[in-house]
Structure 1
Amino acid sequence: MSFPWAKHYEPKFALTKWVDERLPLPRLVYNAVGAGYPVPRNLNYFWNFGVLAGAALAAQIVTGIVLAMHYAANGGVAFDSVEHIMRDVNAGWFLRYAHANGASMFFIVVYIHIFRGLYYGSYKAPREIVWLLGVVIFLLMMATAFMGYVLPWGQMSFWGAQVITGFFSAIPIVGDTIRVWLLGGYAPDDAALNRFFSLHYLLPFVIAAVIVLHIWALHIPGSNNPTGVDVKGEQDTVPFHPYYTAKDGFGLGIFLVLFAFLIFFAPNYLGHPDNYIPANPLATPAHIVPEWYFWPFYAILRAFTSDFILPAKLWGVLAMFGSIVLLFFLPWLDSSPVRSTNYRPLYRIFFWVLVADVLVLGYCGGSPAEPAYVIVSQIAAAYYFAHFLVILPIVSRMERPRPLPNSITEAVLAKHGGTSPTETAMSGSVLTAE
């Protein structure tokens, strides 16, 4: 979408003019995050989380590069190399804790970002490509995080790799071959560590490249907004800078405070104590569990306990991957012309039920595989798929949305007790006539 009222970049100095004529990088930055990029004037703080996700990725890349200088991807010394980083490398403890907890902060931010998109309909036309690229980023994040979890080579690292890669063997005919190819052998060992380390180092840069495409795709139609109403004119927008750079800066400050609190006061709160025990292939932990951000999908994986046509193990693998692949089809599963859930009272109920359902799945995924938790996981997993495949298509066709505002400006002025531009113009005409 082009904005004819957007400010155009004009270099003020001879040097910047010379650079811009030969490499228009200043113009690109200005049009992407400066006054040359108009955005809806009613964006709330939930729109901060895209920038926060970028900041979290930058922190992961910087700390990861330094950690890679001291890490040894060898089963005999991997655990000791991590201990060396913690004890002997200058500020190594800080880098390691920042990297480990940064992954958790990254997922927290991205999960809020995803549910914001679900609530405000950011996956709907004309932003389908933005959403699809976002799901690709999420998949790459999950792969990167899983491989990173294996690298410390503690008890949970080893057995997590053993169990999760073992599920690939459920795939008929090619499953065992895929697992051997992933691990470089028949069990997690040096070859697996080398594979996971190289991919864990590479994939963040792939994520960064897809994020560039994600932002590029976003700038074509422009940002969505809480009303879901399209931009009607200049009065509906404000320049990204300084309005939203200041707002994002405030959000980033809050993010860094929480991040610092986690690093300095609760660095191991989101980790598992068994990972401070060196990997032992002969001692299976009582309760094998992945990192917390995988728990909802792990619960779906474990929800299948009986063979039906296909082995239960294969059903679990298909359901786990299907729960994410399903998100690719969301723009076409929801046929409602209204984007924002603020104007969809019936769907709003089911949205919050979905949020509760995902939280229940997360709790069950982090709990032991006992009958009570498995039964709850089965119910919650069934609802998860029913929400997207049954409830959402039906509700989008039968519900009666509330009336939408005529413009973003009208919604903003109504919220703050002002008058619409039309009313203001009419008042001015009456005064002129008098």
Structure 2
Amino acid sequence: MSGESTYVPKNAVAKWFESRLPVLGLAHSSFVVFPNPRNLNYWWTFGGILAFLLISQIITGVVLAMHYTPESTLAFDSVERIMRDVNFGWLMRYWHANGASMFFIGLYVHILRGMYYGSYKAPREVLWLLGFIIYLLSMATAFMGYVLPWGQMSFWGATVITSLFSAIPVVGDAITTWLWGGYSVDNATLNRFFALHYLLPFMIVGVVGLHIWALHVPGSNNPTGIEPESAKDTLPFHPYFTVKDGFALTVFLIFYAWFVFYIPNYLGHADNYIEANPLVTPPHIVPEWYYLPFYAILRSIPSKFGGFLAMFGAVLIVAVLPWLDTSKIKSAVYRPLFRIFFWIFVVDAVLLGYIGSQPPEGGAVIAGRLLTAYYFIHFLVILPLLSRFEPTRPLPASISDAVLGDSVKAEPALASH
């Protein structure tokens, strides 16, 4: 579904360059004349927002790396020096630290939009899998970045999470020792995490390139889940969607700036302003908010190894969603029961996040186990059953008909019974 390039170089130098490396023509066909379904709503703008945030994180991260010292006795002080002595260092750090949260807000909205409108279904399975790889790399990058300030929560968060690998039979202790670079979280661990935190964003950029390439083969999904049938169902990416994405990005940046300039530490933890001390354990160790649902799943299982499997299983199960939900109807707009259970799942995930932020005692333990059970039941039981037995609404005849509110297909929807 790639658009044909109509790019014509306007001078001799541009013609010479284009004849040898047609990168401008490629960009023109991919981001200017590329046809998109005409009914895309603002939920589709988060792809562009995430691209901006990724570039922003890399730029601010490189600047911060110029002043940061990855050494266990100097790391905490180097962060304080960035905040106090480096010109606009406070802005770079707050922009970068809050940028991680903004990135995950955009990422979760992007994933949930894909789940709601069925963007994981054929012919976009590879697109979904590449997006999942981006998510995994982003989680690893953010975790390693959280360790770098070398505050109390950084140190003990790294200790708790990396210790989970010791639960793996036979090879667990060897993997944990390798991750630590020794027999405890120390200077070697900090150096390794700094190197990987610097490297992984560039790997994410590479996978994002593949993600965009995979998107340009079948084209974008849309709120109806119907593939475009003619030119009247699509619009060129520029200027229609560049303007829309630009407006959405502006609104999002206002939200982002509010955190950076008014409540820069709201999403962090106060204990991280205390230098790491291996002899003093914080009363309540919690990861960043975007890990909390999985942290709650980890704690809900009494067995350490069982919790390890459940936590990683909860992440990995999202990757196989195209093969769990086999309904021929993509969009939740035409799947009433799916829509209900989708929102139940969202509430379940939010409640898991809240439980993950609470001490593991009393009712929080019971609630965590019930919510964890539903999380897996949703994917392994409810979605397959809905795929087979859910009654669905009739589909519009085309995207244009859906936009104009015209006639619908006379025959029943493919998945209705």
For Structure 1 versus Structure 2, the TM-score category normalised by the shorter chain is over 0.9
Please give the alpha-carbon distance, in whole angstroms, between the structure 2 residues aligned to 1:18 and 1:239. 27
Please give the alpha-carbon distance, in whole angstroms, between the structure 2 residues aligned to 1:2 and 1:45. 22
Please give the alpha-carbon distance, in whole angstroms, between the structure 2 residues aligned to 1:125 and 1:8. 30
Cα offsets for 1:158-209 (capped at 9, x unmatched): 1001111111111111101100000101111110000000000000000010
Please give the alpha-carbon distance, in whole angstroms, between the structure 2 residues aligned to 1:259 and 1:239. 29
Please give the alpha-carbon distance, in whole angstroms, between the structure 1 residues aligned to 2:232 and 2:323. 32
Equivalence map 1:179-218=2 (5 Å): 179-218=176-215
Displacement after TM superposition at 1:256 (Å)? 1.1
Structure 1 stretches of 4+ with a deviation exceeding 3 A read none
User: Quick check: 1:236 aligned with 2:236?
Assistant: no
User: Quick check: 1:54 aligned with 2:51?
Assistant: yes
Cross-structure match for 2:353:
362
> For 1:221, which of 218, 221, 227 is the aligned residue?
218
Larger displacement relative to structure 2 (150-159 or 369-378): 369-378
Q: Which amino acid aligns with 1:96?
A: R
> For 1:313, which of 290, 304, 307 is the aligned residue?
304
Cross-structure match for 2:323:
332
TM-score after normalising by structure 2: 0.96
Cross-structure match for 1:295:
292
Structure 2 residues without counterparts, runs of 5 or longer: 408-417
Displacement after TM superposition at 1:16 (Å)? 2.2
Q: Which amino acid aligns with 1:8?
A: T
SS at match of 2:36: strand
Displacement after TM superposition at 1:7 (Å)? 5.5
Displacement after TM superposition at 1:2 (Å)? 5.0
Q: Which amino acid aligns with 1:279?
A: A
Please give the alpha-carbon distance, in whole angstroms, between the structure 1 residues aligned to 2:53 and 2:224. 28
Please give the alpha-carbon distance, in whole angstroms, between the structure 2 residues aligned to 1:44 and 1:335. 25
Please give the alpha-carbon distance, in whole angstroms, between the structure 2 residues aligned to 1:186 and 1:119. 45
8 Å CA contact retained: 2:5, 2:25: no
SS at match of 1:279: coil
Displacement after TM superposition at 1:19 (Å)? 1.6
Cross-structure match for 1:426:
none
Distance 1:166 1:133, change over 3 A: same
Q: Which amino acid aligns with 2:144?
A: M
Cross-structure match for 2:9:
11
Please give the alpha-carbon distance, in whole angstroms, between the structure 2 residues aligned to 1:333 and 1:353. 18
User: Quick check: 1:406 aligned with 2:409?
Assistant: no
Cross-structure match for 1:283:
280
Cα offsets for 1:301-335 (capped at 9, x unmatched): 00012xxxxxx000000011111111121101111
Displacement after TM superposition at 1:375 (Å)? 1.1
Larger displacement relative to structure 2 (19-28 or 43-52): 19-28
Distance 1:408 1:278, change over 3 A: same
Q: Which amino acid aligns with 1:40?
A: P
Please give the alpha-carbon distance, in whole angstroms, between the structure 2 residues aligned to 1:375 and 1:32. 51
Q: Which amino acid aligns with 2:214?
A: A
Q: Which amino acid aligns with 1:190?
A: N
User: Quick check: 1:90 aligned with 2:81?
Assistant: no
Q: Which amino acid aligns with 1:219?
A: H
User: Quick check: 1:248 aligned with 2:245?
Assistant: yes
Larger displacement relative to structure 2 (200-209 or 365-374): 365-374
Cross-structure match for 2:20:
22
Please give the alpha-carbon distance, in whole angstroms, between the structure 2 residues aligned to 1:372 and 1:16. 68
Q: Which amino acid aligns with 2:18?
A: D
Displacement after TM superposition at 1:412 (Å)? 0.5
Please give the alpha-carbon distance, in whole angstroms, between the structure 2 residues aligned to 1:339 and 1:46. 16
Cross-structure match for 1:132:
129
Superposition RMSD in Å: 1.3
Please give the alpha-carbon distance, in whole angstroms, between the structure 2 residues aligned to 1:231 and 1:18. 36
Cα offsets for 1:52-101 (capped at 9, x unmatched): 11111111000000000010111101000000000000000000000000
Q: Which amino acid aligns with 2:321?
A: L
Q: Which amino acid aligns with 1:9?
A: Y
User: Quick check: 1:172 aligned with 2:169?
Assistant: yes
SS at match of 2:319: helix
SS at match of 1:327: coil
Cα offsets for 1:204-230 (capped at 9, x unmatched): 000010000000000000000000001
Please give the alpha-carbon distance, in whole angstroms, between the structure 1 residues aligned to 2:342 and 2:299. 24
Please give the alpha-carbon distance, in whole angstroms, between the structure 1 residues aligned to 2:25 and 2:379. 42
Please give the alpha-carbon distance, in whole angstroms, between the structure 1 residues aligned to 2:265 and 2:237. 38
User: Quick check: 1:102 aligned with 2:99?
Assistant: yes
TM-score after normalising by structure 1: 0.93
Cα offsets for 1:265-299 (capped at 9, x unmatched): 00000000000000011110000000011000100
User: Quick check: 1:41 aligned with 2:32?
Assistant: no
Larger displacement relative to structure 2 (256-265 or 8-17): 8-17
Larger Rg: 1
Cross-structure match for 1:78:
75
User: Quick check: 1:119 aligned with 2:107?
Assistant: no
Please give the alpha-carbon distance, in whole angstroms, between the structure 1 residues aligned to 2:390 and 2:10. 54
Structure 1 residues without counterparts, runs of 5 or longer: 306-311, 421-434
Equivalence map 1:336-355=2 (5 Å): 336-355=327-346
Alignment: residue pair count? 409
Please give the alpha-carbon distance, in whole angstroms, between the structure 2 residues aligned to 1:68 and 1:336. 48
